[in-house]
Structure 1
Amino acid sequence: MDHLDSLRVLLGALFFGVAVLGIFKVPLGVLWKPAVAATEWGHVLAVIPLLSLLLLPAGPGAKRWIALGLTALAVPLLLSSLARALVYAKRVEGELAASFGAAAPRELPGAPARPAPVVHGDLLSVSTPRVAPTRHVYREVEGGALHLDLYRGAGVPGPLPIVVVIHGGSWNSGDSSQLAWLNGYLAARGLAVAAINYRLAPRHTFPAQRDDVLAAVTWLQENAARLELDPSRVALLGRSAGGQLALLAAYTAGDPAIRGAVALYAPSDLNWSWEHPTNPLVLDSPKTLSEYLGGTPAQVKDRYDAASAIDFVVPGSPPTLLIHGTRDELVFAEQSRRLERRLAEASVPHLLLELPWATHGCDANPAGPGGQITTWAVERFLAAAFFSGR
């Protein structure tokens, strides 16, 4: 039985180790995705050690009790993200309404709006009608074609407000499929969603990426009549690196049609990013920045300045929704906090949702606590931006 007891200890240690990733910042980049799983799928993963507790009889011997103890500790740790989210969700509705006003999201048959920031019955899966995108070339540059995927619900009459979605990936990876679930969710509820591809570093350096975002907005507006879109109602949404581009484009375009910007765990001050690098064992942020901007601040300071959205906030900038996990190891939450202060100074309507359990990529699971709150907040922010009469 000794080998069986050793296996039980090993499994208990594994359960406990995964659970701990949901509490503390990870020291190694290879542990980041398991940490996302522990925080956003923790309520599902907790079933495994819980079953082990029920099936693992306590008996004589230190190994059995060690295994039992580790497994027992793993269950509440894995459930802790959901517990914290339920407490946090109680105040979110009031904060969002106070920041942007109360606005009812669009609902269509079979596609209701989220009824609450966290819905217990959706913790395993959030259902939404499938919306298949159509692909369009929005720009030809440097001998290549740039595409966007346009999502719109079947039979929904236009003209539809436009949400331009910009993927993350450290400016050097990712594509327009990254937020497909959210894109389809919003499109099924009466919005047009354009998920764009843009030129990637290090082959292409800034401002190529920003220029591509602005070119996509222009193309959508110029083709609005043909595609049954509303060129006067546009919002930009991005995650991580895409959030930086969404904020920068929204604040610098000078286009009154851009009604709002949404940034999920995005860097808004790239000078500050350089001065406060991440743990190099998690992400080599100086290398990422220098490849994106074409050098260090000592070499291309003008690009760091031009790429820092925080420096372009002025009174009248588009309303802004920021979502950031407080334990984000890849993009520090202080990035969004600093932007929040700048927006407040300029009297720009804004809201920062700091998710106390969450790390980078907290929206990865639509059914998880971060995914549910993100979808709920984005849906209501867009309703306020598009339908509040601004």
Structure 2
Amino acid sequence: MSVLILIFCFVSFFISLWIVIPAPIFSLLPLSVGAPEISHWLVLTNTIAALLALFRLKSLPIFIGMLLALSLSLLPAVQLPATVQKATAAIKASLGEIRVLPNFRSAPFVVFDAVRGIPQSEIRRTLNIAVATPDNVPLRMNVYRPMQSGKNPAIVMIYGGAWRTGSPNANEQFSQYMAAQGYTVLTIDYRHAPQYKFPTQIEDIKTGLKFIQQHADEYEVDLDRMAIMGRSAGGHLAMLTAYAIDAFPFRAVVNYYSPVDLIEGYNNPPFPDPIDSRGVLRAFLGGTPVELCDLYRKASPYQQVRSNLPPTLLIYGGHDHVVRSSFGRSLYEKLKQNGNTAIFIEIPWSDHAFDAVFNGSSNQLSLYYTERFLATMLK
């Protein structure tokens, strides 16, 4: 029994450490991403482990260690109230009073949902729609719609994956959730680096948008009420698409933890750097900023900022060591300087891809503000 208690204490302590320790290599990234998002469970396991260490093992060092782990697991909960206060103030400063609809989430974090999962309503799904085959590469699209028929405001979703992996099936829980809120969600595809380098990805997104316009009636899309959204590399492509001079007139842009200034990202990579940021950028663009300065600038949303851009919601993790939140803040400041509506929300305990844990604290908070932002812009 003592051995089992020791193993239980060690595992709970080990996972809790990743709330504050950034992943040094890619294979450990799920730990630093996931640990803060299950912190509510870690509070429970660390409390139990501390009691077992004190009363069953009678070990003061292990008890102190478990108190340390408990303190780490409480960090997101301690930081949550101030984070909510800042995010609410940021939304109100840009949009005024937040529009609230009956089916919105009731709070930025619901403990019951963290335990059971966020409820999903019945929707209609149309998967693997053939869009085009450039260079014999099939580009697909998924469509998620509410059960009721009729034209809906639409969200075009672009998946992430360092521009080299992924599919329209990514983040399906989010797509289903938003469809249940009354949107048509269209998740589109693009060709991947390193075989296909920038701007191939933008060309493919334009192909997808053209397909959506041609089939708007079939998929119940209101072309006058459309937003574009992406995560990480997908958010980067979404911003480039929406900020282009000849862009489709999107009503809103949502960017989760995306790179914005590729030259600065190459010259000042994060430490630690679990994805080899410089290698990812060379694969995407075909060289270094010294060799391809103009291309790096063309591929940087930060460099495309001007006035009269769509309102933009930026959500970044303060503990992100793939794309630092300071890049998102810099983009926010430049958007504001050019007279645009922009909202920046930083979640201090979150790492990159925090919303992979759909019922985690960070994604609950992000959903709470994203649905309010999109409803104000599109409904």
1:10 positional shift: 5.4
Q: Distance in 1 between matches of 2:150 and 2:301?
A: 32
Q: Which amino acid aligns with 1:154?
A: M
Q: Measure how far apart 1:47 and its partner are.
A: 2.1
Which residue does the alignment assign to 2:141? 148
- SS state of the match for residue 155, structure 2? strand
1:73: which partner in 2? 68
Q: Is the 8 A contact 1:278 1:284 kept in 2?
A: no
Q: Given that residues 50 and 62 in structure 2 are in contact (C-alpha distance below 8 angstroms), is that contact kept between their aligned partners in structure 1? A: no
Give the superposition deviation at 1:182: 0.8
Cα deviation, residue 98, structure 1: 1.9
Query: Paired residue for 1:319?
Result: 311
1:20 counterpart residue number: 17
- Unaligned stretches of 5+ in structure 2? none
Decide whether aligned partners of structure 1 residues 352 and 377 sit closer, same or farther in structure 2, where only a CA change above 3 A counts: same
Question: CA distance change for structure 1 residues 294 and 83 in 2, over 3 Å: closer, same or farther?
Answer: same
Give CA deviations for 1:201-240 in whole Å, capped at 9, x if unaligned: 1111111111112221221122112322111221111111
Q: Which residue number corresponds to residue 114 of structure 1?
A: 105
Aligned pair 1:49/2:46, yes or no? yes
Q: Does residue 126 of the first structure (1) align with residue 114 of the second (2)?
A: no
Counterpart position of 1:88: 83
Q: What residue in structure 2 maps to residue 100 of structure 1?
A: 95
**Given the superposition, is the C-alpha separation of residues 70 and 9 from structure 1 closer, same or farther in structure 2, using an over 3 Å criterion?**
farther
Q: Where has structure 1 moved over 4 Å in runs of 4 or more?
A: 7-11
Q: Mapping of 1:1-390 within 5 angstroms? A: 4=2, 8-9=5-6, 11-58=8-55, 64-104=59-99, 107=102, 112-124=103-115, 125-135=117-127, 136-155=129-148, 157-252=149-244, 254-255=246-247, 257-279=249-271, 282-387=274-379
Q: Distance in 2 between matches of 1:60 and 1:27?
A: 33
Moved more, 203-212 or 74-83: 74-83
TM-score if structure 1 supplies the norm length? 0.90
Tell me the TM-score normalized by structure 2.
0.93
Equivalent pairs: percent with the same residue?
Answer: 30
Unaligned runs of 5+ in 1: none
User: Which has the larger displacement, 254-263 or 200-209?
Assistant: 254-263
**Aligned pairs, how many?**
377
Residues 44, 295 of structure 1: alpha-carbon distance in 2 compared, 3 angstrom cutoff: same
1:24–1:57 Cα change, 3 Å: closer
Q: Which amino acid aligns with 2:13?
A: F
Deviations 1:80-116 (A, max 9, x none): 2122123311342232122123353555xxxx21122
Q: What is the CA deviation profile of residues 237-290 of structure 1, one whole-angstrom value per residue up to 9, with x for unaligned ones?
A: 111111100111110153463011111110011111111123365121111001
